[in-house]
Amino acid sequence: MATTMIPVTIEADAAARVEELGMQAEFELMIEHAKQAVPGLRFIRVTLEYDPEWPENEPRVVIWARRDDLSVEPSTAVLNKELANWRGHRFPPQVCWHIVMMACYGVADGW
């Protein structure tokens, strides 16, 4: 699948948070990396997430890379580790704290 055909949906509050943080270039690079690095990618959705266990923490921008086939290698756990390692080597800690990349399985479920 050509990367240009992968739909990307960015929720307004997530886009506003990226702009507020001044991390647009880093964010765009992560989106492009997800398009290249996530096998079986069907779509990307970006949300702003709050940690219910630590509500006093600032919210994080989460790039959800959605795959709909469990048989595609590598496994989600391995892929998420690879994505985290790539982020950690590519960006300073403050970027990695505010913007997270996660591969997950499932068909479009109202997203």
What is the CATH number assigned to the segment(s) 3-105?
A: 3.30.300
The secondary structure of 52-81 as a DSSP string is TT-TTSPPEEEEEEEE--TTSSSPHHHHHH
How far is residue 68 from each of residues 71, 81, 86, measured CA to CA in Å?
9, 19, 23
pTM above 0.85? yes
pLDDT in tens, 49-104: 998 888 888 999 999 999 877 667 888 889 999 999 999 999 999 999 999 999 99
CA distances from 3 to 29, 59, 62, 105 (A): 13, 28, 19, 18
Domain boundaries, the chain: 3-105
